């Protein structure tokens, strides 16, 4: 996720917690949050779990 998107996500999240978001911002927050989650899943799916890695020796 780009730095600008992450900054916007944080700002909207803080507004949401204080009940100061409008409908458009709520939808934007939902979209940004979903992007954040999806990108994290992609990273996790590309990582080999430690217990399945073969050790030299």
- pLDDT at position 4 over 80: yes
- pLDDT at residue 43, as a whole number: 73
Residue 50 confidence (pLDDT) = 63
pLDDT digits (tens, 9 = 90+) for 5-49: 999 999 999 999 999 999 999 999 999 999 999 988 877 777 666
Tell me whether residue 12 is exposed, middle or buried, using C-beta atoms within 10 angstroms of its C-beta: 0 to 12, 13 to 18, 19 or more: buried
Following DSSP, what letter does each residue of 13-53 receive, concatenated?
HHHHHTT---HHHHHHHHHHHHHHHHHHHHHHHTSPPGGGS
What is the pLDDT at residue 47?
A: 67
Is the CB of residue 12 less than 8 Å from the CB of residue 21? yes
How do residues 30-42 score in pLDDT, each as one tens digit?
Answer: 999 999 999 888 7
How far, in Å, CA of 1 to CA of 57, rounded?
38
């Amino acid at each position: 996720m780009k730095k600008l998107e992450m900054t916007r996500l944080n700002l909207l999240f803080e507004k949401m917690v204080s009940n100061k978001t409008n409908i458009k911002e709520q939808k934007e927050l939902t979209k940004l949050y979903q992007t954040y989650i999806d990108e994290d899943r992609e990273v996790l799916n590309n990582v080999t779990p430690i217990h399945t890695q073969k050790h030299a020796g």
